[in-house]
Amino acid sequence: MEVTRDNIYTNDANFFLDDCKESGIESDMIFTDPPYGVSNKKNKTITRPYWTDIEMHYGEWDVFDDKKELLAFTFNWIDKAHLILKDGGFFASFFDSDHINFISAYLKSKYKYKVKNLIAWCKTDPTPQYHGKKLQNGWEMIGIWQKPSSFDDKGKPFYEDLFRKDHHQHPDWIHTAIISGKERASATIYPDRYKYKVSKSLRRISVNPSEKGLKNINENIWNGKKEKKPIRHPNQKPMKVCELVIRYFSKMDDLIVDPFCGSGSIPLSCKDNYRDFIANDIDKLWTYIAKYRMKVFTSTRKLYSFI
Ligand SMILES: C[S@@+](CC[C@H](N)C(=O)[O-])C[C@H]1O[C@@H](n2cnc3c(N)ncnc32)[C@H](O)[C@@H]1O
């Protein structure tokens, strides 16, 4: 399929990246937020002290049998993303702290990438640790790696000057809350009108709703309930965090590719900062929300809206 700028596609990331390659896409930056196996299948939700539930099981797409399966999946899409990234371009990805070093080692040893930075998103309202057996985890990481190039970029400044006078530095952290309030995107789905399908076994291979063996997602999301219900992406990332990475490591009019866009925070941050994007997610429900957010933004330049 022909892939073009400023569009959001629904496909398996591997097929999407193959399509990008075949369409001659050369991206200035890869910036994404892929599955990294942090779902908790046993404790599906935990309740905060003021009785709001926190989703701990994000979906079958985030469940891996073991580390080997997670890394095989990750290295596979990284190999394909590498092929469409320009020399000297930045490769940025959210990832969990237990495994981010495996990406650094892979990119360094196989493709000679430079580890540029690890940026910390420090949450001002982190999820509580009820059992007290581990420390409360209040931050997430974004790895930044740079593809080698023939030109010498030693000492190259960050693209946009976000110099903090109070620190005399470009900080590698950002403080902001978990997504909430007006920025939180949601869709109201009517189960009788909207049949939605996803497959566990095919989740990393293809998404062709006409194939046999696909399960009805209503079972997972709705638990058999028949009434309408608002649905929110369990991992929507704050635009403020995405924007920091985009402004440090890309220029205006650059092309940024996000193969796992979810509800579209990265492509939306690209547009808000005058970058082009090509985005994709395997799940039609999330690309529906991402496209809707993008439509509202391009027609009104309003970033926050409810669906
Ligand atoms: C961590 S979420 C991205 C959230 C996004 N940054 C946002 O702000 O909404 C990862 C996304 O990857 C998608 N995904 C999982 N497996 C995939 C695959 N094989 N190909 C493409 N997308 C996939 C999931 O549907 C999910 O929306």
Query: Is 191 a pocket residue for ligand 1 (Cβ < 6 Å)?
Result: no
Query: Is 262 a pocket residue for ligand 1 (Cβ < 6 Å)?
Result: yes
Query: Between vectors from CA 196 to CA 300 and to CA 4, what angle results, nearest 5°?
Result: 50
Pairing of strands 229-232, 7-10: unpaired
Query: Buried (b) or exposed (e) across 155-183, using 16+ Cβ within 10 A?
Result: eeeebbeeeeeeeeeeeeebeeebbeeeb
pLDDT tens profile 228-248:
556 778 889 999 999 999 998
Average pLDDT, the chain: 79
Cα within 13 Å of Cα(221), Cβ side: 26
Mean pLDDT of 193-216: 36
Q: Which atom belonging to ligand 1 lies closest to the Cα atom of 185?
A: 9
Query: Is 70 a pocket residue for ligand 1 (Cβ < 6 Å)?
Result: no
Per-residue pLDDT, 34:
97
Between the CA of 211 and the centroid of ligand 1 the distance, in Å, is: 21
SS3 state of residue 12: coil
Per-residue pLDDT, 232:
78
Q: Which range has the worst mean pLDDT, 49-53, 91-95, 140-144, 149-153?
A: 49-53
Go through the domains of the chain in sequence order and give each one's CATH number. Answer: 7-178+238-283 (3.40.50.150)
DSSP assigned state of 43: S
**In contact, 58 and 236? CB cutoff 8 Å:** no
Q: Give the Cα separation of 307 and 305 in Å (integer).
A: 7
Query: Between vectors from CA 253 to CA 111 and to CA 32, what angle results, nearest 5°?
Result: 45
Host H or E run for residue 69 = helix 67-84
Which stretch, 68-82, 195-209, 286-300, has highest mean pLDDT?
Answer: 68-82
273 closest CA partner among 29, 17, 24, 22: 29
Give the chain's length. Answer: 307
Phi (first) and psi of residue 191, to 5 degrees: -60, -30
Q: Which residue puts its alpha carbon closest to atom 5 of ligand 1?
A: 262
pLDDT tens profile 81-130:
999 999 999 999 999 998 999 999 999 999 999 999 999 999 998 877 76
pTM of the model: 0.85
Mutate to test the pocket of ligand 1, among 183, 282, 291, 292 (most ligand atoms within 8 A of CB): 282
- Between 55 and 32, whose confidence is greater? 32
**In contact, 144 and 245? CB cutoff 8 Å:** yes
Per-residue pLDDT, 292:
84
Query: Is 62 a pocket residue for ligand 1 (Cβ < 6 Å)?
Result: no
182 closest CA partner among 61, 306, 285: 306
Per-residue pLDDT, 211:
37
pLDDT tens profile 17-39:
999 999 999 999 999 999 998 77
Per-residue pLDDT, 12:
93
Q: Give the Cα separation of 304 and 239 in Å (integer).
A: 10
Q: Which range has the worst mean pLDDT, 69-73, 78-82, 152-156?
A: 152-156
Q: Which range has the worst mean pLDDT, 49-63, 220-234, 287-301?
A: 220-234
Residue in the block written with tokens 């590719």: 257
